[in-house]
Structure 1
Amino acid sequence: MKTLRSREGDTISIILWMGLNRTDDEAEEVLFALNPGLEKYGPVLPAGITITLPEMPAKAPERVVNIWD
Structure 2
Amino acid sequence: MTTMTETVTVEGDSLTVSLIVWRRFHRQMPRLVEEIYYINPGLAEYGQTLPVGVTFEMPIPIPRAQQVLDPITLW
Name the TM tier (shorter chain).
0.5 to 0.7
Among 3, 7, 25, the alignment partner of 2:7 is 3
Identity of aligned residues (%): 31
Distance 1:46 1:39 in 2: 12
- Are 2:51 and 1:46 aligned? yes
Higher helix share: 1
What residue number does 1:37 align with?
Answer: 42
**Which of 1 and 2 has greater Rg?**
2
Q: Where has structure 1 moved over 6 Å in runs of 4 or more? A: none
Q: How far did 1:51 drift? A: 1.5
**Separation of aligned partners in 2, 1:57 and 1:51:** 19
Alignment TM-score, normalising by the size of structure 2: 0.63
TM-score calculated relative to the size of structure 1: 0.67
